[in-house]
Structure 1
Amino acid sequence: MSTETINKEILRGGQFLVKETPCEDIFTPEDFSEEQKMMKESVKEFVDREIWPHKERFEAKDYKLTEEVMRKAGELGLLGIAVPEKYDGLGMGFVTTMLVCDYISGATGSIATAFGAHTGIGTMPITLYGTEEQRQKYVPKLATGEWFGAYCLTEPGAGSDANSGKTKAVLSDDGKYYSLSGQKMWISNAGFCDVMIVFARIEDDKNITGFIVENDPENGISMGEEEKKLGIHSSSTRQVFFNETKVPVENMLAGRGEGFKIAMNALNVGRIKLAAACLDAQRRVIWKATEYANDRVQFKTPIAKFGAIKSKLAEMATNVFVGESASYRAAKNIEDRISIRESQGNSHQEAELKGVEEYAIECSILKVAVSEDIQNCSDEGIQIFGGMGFSADTPMEAAWRDARISRIYEGTNEINRMLAVGMLVKKAMKGHVDLLNPAQEVAKELMGIPSFDTPDFSETLSEEKAMVAKLKKVFLMVAGSAVQKFGPDLEQHQQLLLASADILIEIYMAESAILRAEKTSKNNGANAEYQVAMAKLYLYHAVDIVTQKAKEGIVSFAEGDEQKMMLVGLKRFTKYQNMPNVVALRNKIAEKVTAENTYPF
C-alpha cells in the first residue's frame, strides 16, 4: 500500500454525502502515471487500427470480426489487465483496468459489449470466487484470449429479479456431476464462447448456484439464432439451452446457494466498468460532431459558429468531463480500499470483492449517469449532423443505437436508481454511514432562523462547493423525512426512491467535477479555466434537477405546515448568491472544443 494511500482519509462508500472531501484526496485523469498514459495510447492505437476503420463491417453483423479483434486484444494482454500475473494476466490496478475498458470501448458498442462480457462477468467470477484448481484451469486461457467467456444469468422469466431463475441443477446418483436443464437468454459472446458461468437452482434452494460450464454441443448445449437487435450488431447475442448438461461437481463456483451473491458482486464491477465504457464513446461522438460542425457551412458560416451548435458541443463536452471525473474518482477509491484490505492480510480475491462491494452505491450512480450521458451525446451528435445524422453512412446513427443498451444491461437504470438509495439506507442502518445525525441537524436548521451573513466566495469554486454542501442537505431533508415516515416500507414507494436517487446522482457527479477542477486549478494545470467552466455549467443544471426532484418527493409524502417548511428549506438550499452566466460558460467551452476540433480536456 502506498504512502499516499496511508496518509489520506479513504471515505467509505456513500460517505461522500455526509463528509467533505478535500480536492487533494481525489484521483483525476490528470493523475495518470506514465505507465497508465502509455497504456492509454497503446489501447487507442489498437482501436484506431483494428476497430475504427471497420465500423461498416461491425454494423453489417460481422461476428467473426468481433471474435478476431477480441483474439488480437488477448494477444496484446488487454483481456488480462485485471487478472493476477500468476494466471497469465498483467495484474494491473483497478484504475488501469478502468482506463483500458474506457478506451477500448469507444469505437463500437459491439466490441465494448464483447470485451466487457468477457473480461468482467465472464472471467472475474472465476478469478474472484473460483478454487485454486478452477483458476489454474480456466483463467489463463481466458486472460490470453485462447478461450472466451460468457455469463448465463438472464432467463425469459428472470431479468431484474435475477434470483427467480428456473434453470435446474440435479445431482447425479453417484454424486459426481450435476445435470443442468433450462433456458438462458440475451447471452453476450454466446456464439463464440468456450466457457460459461451458468446459474441454476439446486432442488428448492432459496438462492441460485453458480457453475463453470464448458461449451460442448455434444453435452446437451444448444444455441438459438443470433438475436436481431437495435444496436451492438456484431456482439454475438443468443439464447442458450441446457438439456441435462453434465457439469462435474468440482465445477460448482463458490458454494451451494451462493450464486446470487456472485451475480450481484459481478454486477457491481460491471456497473462501474460500463460507465467507463461509455466515456470514449462520447469523446468520439464529440470529435466527429465537431469536425462536421467546423466543415459544414450554412448561411456562409461554419455551423460551429452558431450559438445553437455551441450550446450542444459545450453540454456534450461537459458531460464527458464530469463522467471522467466521477468514474476515476470512484475507481481510485476502490483501488485504495483493495490495497488497505490486502495490507490487512486479505487475499487479493477477497480484497477486490470487498473493495468493489464497499462502493456499490457509487457503481450504481455511475452506471446510471454515464449511460444516460452517452445516449444524450449521441442524440445531439445526430442533431448536429442534421439530415446526414440520420443516415447510416455517418457514425452518429450507429453510436445512438449502440448507446441504447447501456441503460438496460448491468441492471436497468431504474433498478440501479432504487438500489443506490436502498443501499445507502442499509449502510446507515448498519452504522457505516451516519445519515441520522446530519439529517437531524438539517431538520434543526429548517426550524431555525436563516443566516443573513454574506459568505466569502473569493476562492475558485468556493460558491460551487458551498452549493454542493447545500444540495446534500436537500437529500438529507427529503430522504430523512421519507425514511422516518415510511420506515422499512420505503422500498414500496418507487417514484419517491427514483426522485431521491436523482438528487444523490447529481450531488456525486457535480462534486466530482468541482473537486477535479479545483485540484487542477491549484496545480496550475492545463485547461484549468475550462474545467472550472464545465464544473460550473454542470452544477447549474444539477441545481435545477435537484430542485425539481425534491419538490416531486416532498409533495408526495408531506402535507400542510411540514410541506411548506420543507419547500421553504428547499428554496434556501438551492439559492445561488452569484448566478453563473450559462451562455458565457457554454461559449467558452465550445470555442475550445471547436478550436481543437475534438474533445480536448
Structure 2
Amino acid sequence: MQDTLSKTDVLKGGEFLISDTPGPESTFIPEEMNEEQLMIRDTVRDFLNTEILPHIDRIEAQEEGLAPQLLEKMAELGLLGSHMPEEYGGMQLDTNTNTMICDVFGPAAAFTVSYAAHTGIGMLPILYFGDESQKATYLPRLINGELKAAYCLTEPSSGSDALAAKTRADLSEDGNHYVINGQKMWISNAGFADIFIVFAQIDGDKFTGFIVERDSEGLTLGAEEKKLGIKGSSTRQVFFENVKVPKENVLGEIGKGHLIAFNALNIGRFKLCALCVGGAKKSAETAVQYANERIQFKQPIANFGAIKHKLGEQAIQIFAAESAMYRVSHLLQEKNKALMAEGMTFAEAKRQAAEEYAIECALLKVLGSEVLDYVVDETVQVHGGMGYSEEGTAARAYRDARINRIYEGTNEINRMLSIDMLFRRALKGNLDIVGPAWEVQKELASMPSFDQPEGAYAAEKKAIKEFKKAVLMTAGAAAKMQMDGELNLKEEQEIIMNVSDMLLDTLTAESMLMRVEKLAGMDSKEQPQEIYDAMLKVFMTDATARIHKKGTDALVSFAEGDLLRTMLMGLKRFTKYTPTNVKKARRMIADRMIEANGYCF
C-alpha cells in the first residue's frame, strides 16, 4: 500500500484502493459547513417546506404549468445556476455547497426529477461541450428559468446500450441543416421542455449530440407515461419526423456524442446519490415519528427492539452513504480547483474533475439508491398497514424510490462500469493496481501477524487496509486468469459485481471512518462521540461479513484446488474485525432518534 497522503495531496480516481487511509483533514463532513453554506441550506430548506411539500398532491397530479413555475421560483433564488459560471448568470458555488443543496432538496418527491433533469443532464452538456455561441444563447436563459431543458438519449431499442440508437440525422441538400428522424422514450421534462439535448446517428454511425428547440416543425410528443412512481414528473416519448436543426446546433464534435452522454452521466450519478441521501433522511424521520405515535400493547412501538433495529440501521446506512458522498464531493471540489489553477476554464475543470472520479460516482449512485430503497422499505414496515395506504407519505416514497436503481445507468451497469474503469486505468498506467496486488499475493505465502493494533480507531484502520487487500487479491486473480485466457470476465458478470460490492463497502467504510475520526476532534457536534463510534462499529461489522461473502462467491466462481484454498485462507485473514454488540449499538442510535423524533445525525 502507498503511504498515507499528505494534507495537500488529492487522491486520483480509484486510488483509494491502493492508498492507506488518508487523515480526516483530507475530507469534508457536513458538520463543518461554514456560515454561508448554512444560510444557503436554510434557504433551500425554506423553499422545500413552503413551495414544494405543501403542494405535493398538486405536483403528483401534474397540474399543468406547476413544475415550470416552481423551476422559475427556484431560478429567482439562484438555485438553477448554483453550479454554473458567473459569466452566464450562475452563482458558481463550490462543489460541497452544491452537494448540500441536492442533499437538502432530496425530500422533494417527484419534483426532484424535474429539477435534476433540468440542472444536470439538460444543462451540463451545453456547459461541457457547447461552443461560446451556444453557451451564450442558452445557458443564461436556462439559469434564469426562461427555458426548461430535457435530455433525449434512450430509445425503444437502446437503453444501457446507448450507442445502438437508431435515430438518424442527415445533412440537408443545402448543407445548412441536419434532418432528424427517430423516436426517444422515457424523456423527463418532455411535457414542458423548451430545448432538448438529442442524440442521433449522422450517416448512420456517427453518434452525435444536438440542441433541438421545442417549436421545431416535426417534433411531437407522446402521452404522459403512467408510471409506478415519480408520478409528478413529466415523462413522455419524443418523436422526430424530418425535424430540421441548424448545423450550428450540433453539440460538440460529430461522432463524439458518447463523450457528451458519458460525461453528463458522471456528475448526474453523483447528484442522484445526494438526492437519495436527502430523501432517505426524510423517510427515516417519517418512520421515527410514526413509531413514537403508534401505540400497541399500551406503549409506543418505538419501545420495541424490532423497531429499534430498523430505526438504528436506517440511521447507520444513511450516515455511511452521506460520509462517502461528502468525501467524494470534496475530492471533486479540490480537483476542480487544481485544474482551474492550471489555467482550465470553469467548464473544462468541472468536466475533467467528474471524469477523474467516474469510478467513485458510479459506486455512489449504487450506494445512494440502495440505501434509499432500504430506508423507504423499512419505513413502510414500521408503519404496518398504514404504510400501505396512500393517505400517508410512506407508500409514495416507496414507489418513488424504485426508479433510482434504474436510471442514470442501472445499478448493475454501474457496478460493472466501476470495475471496468478500474482495470482500464490500470492497463493505461494511470493506476498501479498490479504492484499492490502482487504484494498481496506474496503476503499470502507469509505467516500472518498477530500484533494487536493500538491507538484511536486502530482496529478500524487495520480492517480497512485488509479490506483493500481482499479486493486486490480477488480482482487481481480474476484479471490474471483473464490475461492467461482461462476466464472471460465480460461473460462472468457475477464476478465483476461481487468485486464491485467489495470495492463499494471499502470506500464507504473508509469514508465513514474519516468522518467519525474528524468528529472525534471537534468540540461542537450534534451527538456524543459514542453514537458516531457505534455507527462506525456496526457498519464495519456488517461490511466485514459482506466482503467475506462476496469474495468467497467470486473466488469459487473461477479458482479451484490449491489456488482456491490459498485465496480463501487469505480472504479469511483479510476479513477480521473485533466482534461488536450490534444490538446494543443499534438501540443506542435508535434511542437518539426516538428522543429527537427524527433523523438527528
- Does the TM-score normalized on the shorter chain lie above 0.5? yes
Spell out the pairing of 1:208-247 with structure 2 (5 A cutoff): 208-216=207-215, 219-247=217-245
Residues 1:469 and 2:465 are matched in the alignment = yes
Q: Which residue of 2 aligns with 1:58?
A: 59
Spell out the pairing of 1:392-471 with structure 2 (5 A cutoff): 392-453=390-451, 455-459=452-456, 461-471=457-467
Cα deviations across residues 510-550 of structure 1 (Å, max 9, x unaligned)? 11111100111022341232222111111111111111110
Distance in 2 (CA, whole Å) between partners of 1:191 and 1:352 is 30
Please tell me the residue identity of whatever aligns with 1:457.
E
Distance in 1 (CA, whole Å) between partners of 2:57 and 2:286 is 16
Check conservation: 2:212, 2:245, Cα contact below 8 A: yes
Cα deviations across residues 209-234 of structure 1 (Å, max 9, x unaligned)? 00000001x51000000000000011
Q: Which residue of 2 aligns with 1:568?
A: 569
Spell out the pairing of 1:493-532 with structure 2 (5 A cutoff): 493-526=492-525, 527=527, 528-532=529-533
Change (3 A) 1:343 1:435: same
Q: Which residue of 2 aligns with 1:276?
A: 274
1:98 Cα deviation after fit: 1.5
Distance in 2 (CA, whole Å) between partners of 1:115 and 1:336 is 26
Q: Which residue of 1 aligns with 2:103?
A: 102
Spell out the pairing of 1:83-122 with structure 2 (5 A cutoff): 83-108=84-109, 110-122=110-122
Distance in 1 (CA, whole Å) between partners of 2:173 and 2:384 is 66
Please tell me the residue identity of whatever aligns with 2:234.
S
Spell out the pairing of 1:33-432 with structure 2 (5 A cutoff): 33-62=34-63, 64-108=65-109, 110-205=110-205, 207-216=206-215, 219-432=217-430
1:67 Cα deviation after fit: 2.4
Cα deviations across residues 379-404 of structure 1 (Å, max 9, x unaligned)? 00000001000000011000000000
Please tell me the residue identity of whatever aligns with 2:478.
A
What is the Cα-based RMSD across aligned positions, in Å?
1.4
Check conservation: 2:147, 2:195, Cα contact below 8 A: yes
Check conservation: 2:7, 2:26, Cα contact below 8 A: no
Residues 1:10 and 2:10 are matched in the alignment = yes
Distance in 2 (CA, whole Å) between partners of 1:167 and 1:245 is 11
TM-score (norm 1): 0.96
Q: Secondary structure at the match of 1:182?
A: strand
Check conservation: 1:63, 1:236, Cα contact below 8 A: no
Distance in 1 (CA, whole Å) between partners of 2:362 and 2:91 is 27
Cα deviations across residues 251-302 of structure 1 (Å, max 9, x unaligned)? 1001101111100000001000000010111111111111111111111111
Q: Secondary structure at the match of 1:262?
A: helix
Distance in 2 (CA, whole Å) between partners of 1:68 and 1:482 is 53
1:170 Cα deviation after fit: 0.6
Q: Secondary structure at the match of 1:191?
A: coil
Q: Secondary structure at the match of 1:208?
A: strand
Alignment gaps of 5+ in structure 1: none
1:345 Cα deviation after fit: 1.2
Distance in 2 (CA, whole Å) between partners of 1:405 and 1:277 is 13
Check conservation: 1:114, 1:189, Cα contact below 8 A: yes
Please tell me the residue identity of whatever aligns with 1:332.
H
Check conservation: 1:63, 1:235, Cα contact below 8 A: no
Please tell me the residue identity of whatever aligns with 1:467.
A
Please tell me the residue identity of whatever aligns with 1:373.
V
1:173 Cα deviation after fit: 1.3
Q: Percent identity?
A: 46
Check conservation: 1:221, 1:243, Cα contact below 8 A: yes
Distance in 2 (CA, whole Å) between partners of 1:89 and 1:581 is 50
Distance in 1 (CA, whole Å) between partners of 2:107 and 2:373 is 13
Change (3 A) 1:63 1:534: farther
Cα deviations across residues 298-356 of structure 1 (Å, max 9, x unaligned)? 11111111110110001101111111111111011011101111111111121111111
Q: Secondary structure at the match of 1:278?
A: helix
1:88 Cα deviation after fit: 1.0
Q: Secondary structure at the match of 1:183?
A: strand
Q: Secondary structure at the match of 2:80?
A: helix
Please tell me the residue identity of whatever aligns with 1:31.
E
Distance in 2 (CA, whole Å) between partners of 1:95 and 1:516 is 15
Distance in 2 (CA, whole Å) between partners of 1:60 and 1:251 is 35
Distance in 1 (CA, whole Å) between partners of 2:419 and 2:34 is 34
